[in-house]
Amino acid sequence: MAQSSLFEKLAAHAATFEDRSLRTLFAQDPERFAKFSVKQDDLLIDFSKTLLDDTALDLLIELAEASNVPQRRDAMFAGEKINETEDRAVLHTALRNRSGEPVMVDGQDVMPDVFAVLNAMADFCDGIRSGDIAAANGQAFTDVVNIGIGGSDLGPVMTTLALSPYHDGPALHYVSNVDGAHIADTLAELDPATTLIIVASKTFTTIETMTNAQTARRWIAETLGEDAVGDHFAAVSTALDKVAAFGIQEDRVFGFWDWVGGRYSVWSAIGLPLMIAIGPDAFNEFLDGAHSMDQHFADAPLRENLPVLMGLVGVWNRDVLGHSARAVLPYDQRLARLPAYLQQLDMESNGKRVKLSGAPVDQETGPLVWGEPGTNGQHAFYQLLHQGTTVIPCEFIVAAKGHEDDLAHHHEMLVANCLAQSEALMLGRTLEEAKALLKASGLSDAEVDRLAPHKVFPGNRPSVTIVHDQLTPFALGRLIALYEHRVFVEGTIWGINSFDQWGVELGKELATALLPMVKGEASAEAKDSSTRGLLATLTS
Ligand code: F6P
């Protein structure tokens, strides 16, 4: 059946749901959790608290097939140039390919180069961690500052925090924003004599990163002397010529390739700061976790395929039920930066309005992705999730075990809160229930009537819960790969290119043109009155 007919059928099916709710679905089927949850090893995804039923799931699976998800997935893994607007293969999966099988791009196996860079990274990390690769004064490095932005920052920064129990290397710091406050505050706490700077930029042209890199270079040169610069800098990039022009020693430069998208690059040399923090062995476990998800995505039948099911739930919520946002709510403080990471992964990939052909899309595409860790979010924006007028599907992430054995009671509370939130979103509280509770508290009938509407929770608000055993390097790699492939599944169904990002270009071009106006070196005459007015206010 054609895609359009399947979307029509899904819409017609959903239209029959008027008086159906999650409450009734659970009441009608005691097996609902078993039917609508999937497990791979210790990773479980429970999507029983969505409005999916067998018919909807059958149609969605058909939709994935009609959209050629399996074929396009295979093409991606095989190194075909599915990033058509940039004429590139999409092979972040090769970076964590542990199968021993070759991966071909343009007739060449890329795996020897992948392993050569991984080995060079491991040697460098071992040297930094042991002190064999030392600062200019011969001391071991105590701190590492990664300068990068977007994919050259968010992956390392998110994973470094996530895996802090595994840190046994120098302390990591991240500078991304061109706002001088970021680098000033970061460097203020550090001793240049024992600080290593990594400049991470796929293109080595990104203005924020280059500006911060020059500031860091001055900091080293002015405090330690120009001769110290070589010892205190390393770089990660695909543009090796530009790195050389910056003056970073060749043996301190770690490359990757144009078939690694920025937001898919944490597995490449962009992961160098993480490797320095946790060591090459733990970094390999991180890659192993991602590879296990790659294998699952490649091999599992669609109905048991975790990224496929996550993608289908996404399409169901976005296109069939019309929910324009989704909240990512990790009940894990160390995943505090996961929502920000997923914002780039998801919104830069699927925030598109034309199909591969250039024709307008047929459906709404990527939702607004946002979130904060629980339980903090509960005391901030959950009010809106429970009683606001907008329904926002939620994705909860929680581990069975924390790392703090002596604080197990904290973890029990964390788990109880996580489960309570998805239960509350699902069940809600009816007017009758609210009244009964108020009455039981001894209020008069008038008071009960006055307060009850405020205590009603509409419920029927969908959520997915992702559970794993513990946030280990393996589990984190697996989780990120799950989300990467989910974005891919959704993008494929929408027929868009999830691997370009032309939408960030216009702002960059205009900023470049505006800079001389901000400096007072060029006239703003041709600008609109708002831009002129703001410029005048900011520069007077
Ligand atoms: O924001 C656009 C973007 O190109 C991202 O896709 C990328 O991750 C980021 O800028 C940084 O780019 P680079 O690694 O080339 O400095």
What integer is the mean pLDDT of 178-201?
A: 98
Q: Out of 35, 39, 410, 508, pick the active-site residue.
A: 508
Calculate the alpha carbon distances from 477 to 111, 202, 330, 484, 521 in Å: 19, 21, 15, 11, 48
What integer is the mean pLDDT of 349-375?
A: 97
Tell me the backbone φ, ψ of residue 259, rounded to 5 degrees: -85, 10
The ipTM value here is 0.98
* Helix, strand or coil, per DSSP, at residue 371: coil
Q: Which atom of ligand 1 is nearest to the CA of 154?
A: 8
Q: Ligand 1 in contact with 515 (CB < 6 A)?
A: no
Q: Is position 508 annotated as part of the catalytic site?
A: yes
Q: Out of 208, 348, 395, 484, pick the active-site residue.
A: 348
Ligand 1, atom 10: closest residue by C-alpha: 150
Whole-number Å distance, alpha carbon 296 to ligand 1 midpoint, is 29
Cis peptide before 375 (omega within 30 of 0): yes
Q: Ligand 1 in contact with 201 (CB < 6 A)?
A: yes
Calculate the alpha carbon distances from 380 to 336, 459, 468 in Å: 15, 19, 26
Q: Is this prediction's pTM over 0.95?
A: yes
Residue where the block lists tokens 């701190």 = 143
pLDDT above 90: residue 538: yes
pLDDT above 90: residue 245: no
Q: Which atom of ligand 1 is nearest to the CA of 148?
A: 16
Which tokens go with 198?
Answer: 């990594």
Q: Give CA–CA dist 67/489, Å, rounded.
A: 9
Q: Ligand 1 in contact with 373 (CB < 6 A)?
A: no
Q: Note the pLDDT of residue 2.
A: 92
For a pocket test of ligand 1, which of 83, 152, 263 has the largest count of ligand atoms closer than 8 A to its C-beta? 152
Give me the chain's average pLDDT, please. Answer: 97
pLDDT above 90: residue 266: yes
Where are the strands (E) in 113-194, listed by range?
Answer: 143-147, 171-175
Q: Is position 348 annotated as part of the catalytic site?
A: yes
Q: Note the pLDDT of residue 182.
A: 98
Percent of the chain with pLDDT over 70: 100
Q: Ligand 1 in contact with 156 (CB < 6 A)?
A: no
Q: Give CA–CA dist 434/455, Å, rounded.
A: 6
Whole-number Å distance, alpha carbon 248 to ligand 1 midpoint, is 20
pLDDT tens-digit map of 136-149: 999 999 999 999 99
Percent of the chain with pLDDT over 90: 97
What integer is the mean pLDDT of 224-235?
A: 96
Q: Out of 379, 409, 454, 519, pick the active-site residue.
A: 379
Whole-number Å distance, alpha carbon 150 to ligand 1 midpoint, is 5
Q: Give CA–CA dist 184/150, Å, rounded.
A: 20
CB 287, CB 95: distance < 8 Å:
yes
Ligand 1, atom 16: closest residue by C-alpha: 201
| Cα 534 versus chain centre, distance | 34
Q: Which atom of ligand 1 is nearest to the CA of 208?
A: 16
Q: Give CA–CA dist 508/45, Å, rounded.
A: 39
Go through 187-216 and write b for each residue having 16 or more CB atoms within 10 A of its CB, e for each that does not: beebebbbbbbbbbbbebebebbbebbebb
| Residue 350, H or E segment | helix 349-350
Q: Which atom of ligand 1 is nearest to the CA of 501?
A: 6
Q: Ligand 1 in contact with 151 (CB < 6 A)?
A: yes
pLDDT above 90: residue 246: no
Q: Which atom of ligand 1 is nearest to the CA of 152?
A: 14
Which tokens go with 289?
Answer: 């976790």
How does residue 308 score in pLDDT terms, banded at 50, 70 and 90?
very high
- In this structure, of 17-26, 191-200, 406-415, 522-531, the range with the lowest mean pLDDT score is 17-26
pLDDT above 90: residue 249: no
- In this structure, of 210-219, 240-249, 412-421, 426-435, the range with the lowest mean pLDDT score is 240-249
**Farthest CA pair distance, the chain:** 82
Question: DSSP letters of 302-322?
Answer: GGG-HHHHHHHHHHIIIIIS-
pLDDT above 90: residue 286: yes
Whole-number Å distance, alpha carbon 271 to ligand 1 midpoint, is 15
Q: Which residues pair with 398 in a beta bridge?
A: 331, 467
pLDDT tens-digit map of 273-284: 999 999 999 999
Q: Ligand 1 in contact with 206 (CB < 6 A)?
A: yes
Q: Ligand 1 in contact with 262 (CB < 6 A)?
A: yes
Closest CA to 465 of 332, 293, 348: 332
